[in-house]
Amino acid sequence: MSTLKALVLSGGKGTRLRPLTYTSAKQLIPVANKPILFYVLDSIVAANVRDIGIIISPETGDEIRRAVGDGGRWGAKIEYIVQDVPGGLAHAVKVARPFLADSPFVMYLGDNLVGDRLNAYVDLFQGDKADAVILLKPVGDPSAFGVAKTADDGSIIRLVEKPEKPESNLALVGVYIFSPAVHDAIDRLKPSARGELEITDAIQELINHGCTVRSRTLDKWWLDTGKKDDILSANTVVLEEYTTLDIKGRVDKLSQVTGMVGIGKGTEIVNSKIHGPVLIGEDVRVANSFIGPSSSIGSQCSIINSAIENCVILEDVQIEGIDRIEDSLIGRSTKINRNNSNHKALRVMLGDDSRVEV
């Protein structure tokens, strides 16, 4: 069998995360101060897959190229593949055919985070000489996803993309492993009612032609970070799982730090309370403020006379005099300050370079 490659899908326009995605690719929004796409690449390389193609769109492709580079930081080789129109996941595979050639490959959606390691699924794929391995996870609203109906032995009976009446609660996670047989299956597809080539239809086509399709249900978490609340949930999960007490900046004697808190170099905490899990970047100033659980704050920010909880705050944000900001996603270089208002709490989603007075 040829060496396993990886195909990471980082196209799309991120319409559900506007206005933030007017100026930034959704896959580069940080969770715990690291771009989502970087977690994906970490996972792929940890499975010893180092030949990686990244699907990009004309709108955000240049930004992804600048952020990721040639893959050297991961010890990987990265090739960029432009998908001119968002024609579906199977269409992305079709566009990537010259890169994939006759190699088996992992396909990973660039805005998904998975708690499980890939290695076990790669071993299953190779050990069973499968044509596809799909990951499943029970969800509350399966109609928003591709859905799998399985037999008692766990084999796949049927896959349906975003069904109105789901036959199970098992959603397809955005991680797949395919043999080259998937290309012939995709060639036989017709566009769905959405006008796209669906990867669920391609997998169903493999099943219809007697190919070996294996599934496994994730033991750990899966986070599809397509909306603001998804980003906040992912931030909470990652902070809780990975944050350790690591204080590189300066915390004065009037301040209190409790729980798992990371504070970057050059950061100064003055007369403030930090209650973890919290991650604060480098060269941040926090004064006379409260930073509550599940918050990540990017570098070069300033939080003065304010309270923050369950927020993702990107770089170079200035917040001053705000009684409470919660459940918020705030873009780069944004300024929020009080202007003689009686508002007590804010819940916002702001794109880069915003200005807010309350």
**Domains observed in the chain:** 5-238 (3.90.550.10), 244-357 (2.160.10.10)
d(CA 138, CA 159) in angstroms, rounded, equals: 14
Over its C-alpha atoms, the chain yields an Rg (Å, rounded) of 22
d(CA 64, CA 10): 8
**Residue 261's pLDDT is what?**
97
Quote the pLDDT of residue 185: 95
pLDDT value of position 17:
58
- Could you tell me if 55 and 10 are in contact, meaning their C-beta atoms sit under 8 angstroms apart? yes
Backbone φ and ψ of 236, nearest 5°: -65, -50
Residue ranges with strand state E in 198-330: 213-217, 222-224, 246-247, 250-251, 256-258, 261-263, 268-270, 273-275, 278-280, 285-287, 290-291, 295-297, 302-304, 307-313, 318-320, 325-330
The label of the residue with tokens 């032609």 reads 209
The CA distances from residue 211 to 110, 148, 152, 205, 240, in Å, are 27, 16, 19, 9, 40
How many CA atoms does the CB half-sphere of 75 hold within 13 Å? 8
Q: DSSP 3-state assignment of 95?
A: helix
Closest C-alpha to 175, from 222, 235, 226: 222
At 320 the pLDDT is 92
Neighbour count for residue 327 (Cβ, 10 Å): 17
Low-confidence ranges of the chain (pLDDT < 50): none
Q: Per 3-state DSSP, what percentage of the chain is helix, strand, and coil (rounded to 5)? A: 25, 35, 40
Give burial (CB, 10 Å; 0-12/13-18/19+) of 1.
exposed
